[in-house]
Homo-oligomer: A and B are copies of this chain.
Amino acid sequence: MKIATELLKGVLEGIVLQRISTGETYGYEITQYLNAHGFEDVVEGTVYTILMRLEKQHLVAIEKKKSDRGPARKFYRLNVAGEDRLIQFWQQWAYVNTQMTQLKESRHD
């Protein structure tokens, strides 16, 4: 499904954090995963910008490892600040979700 890119703002960062939190991973793999799981139009450039943003905000630990299939990979793991941010993200998401549902179901007086 085609998703308006504006609807992904803020969401994609949460998704990337979530993906990293379940085990160390790297940009290319994250992109492939998202493309195969409902976010078909997300491109590499987007994921890499997010990863570099996370790094700049000190939410991740990075380790470079050689690959047997191509260039070296930069593996990401969440640090404590990253885990906190992820928790916050899901709380906000749940909250927005709740409010949206109520809004949709409510009528004018």
The answer to whether B92 and A1 touch across the interface, beta carbons within 8 angstroms, is: yes
Contact A3 B96 (CB under 8 A): yes
How many angstroms between the C-alpha atoms of A98 and B11 in the bound complex? Answer: 13
Contact across chains for A93 and B100 when beta carbons are under 8 A apart? yes
Q: Is the CB of A108 within 8 A of B4?
A: no
Instruction: A22 to B107: give the CA distance in the assembly, Å.
Output: 6
Contact of A92 among B4, B9, B91, B106 (CB under 8 A): B4
Contact of A96 among B7, B22, B90 (CB under 8 A): B7
Q: A interface vs B, CB < 8 Å? A: 1-11, 13-15, 18-19, 22-23, 25, 37-39, 90-93, 95-100, 102-104, 106-108
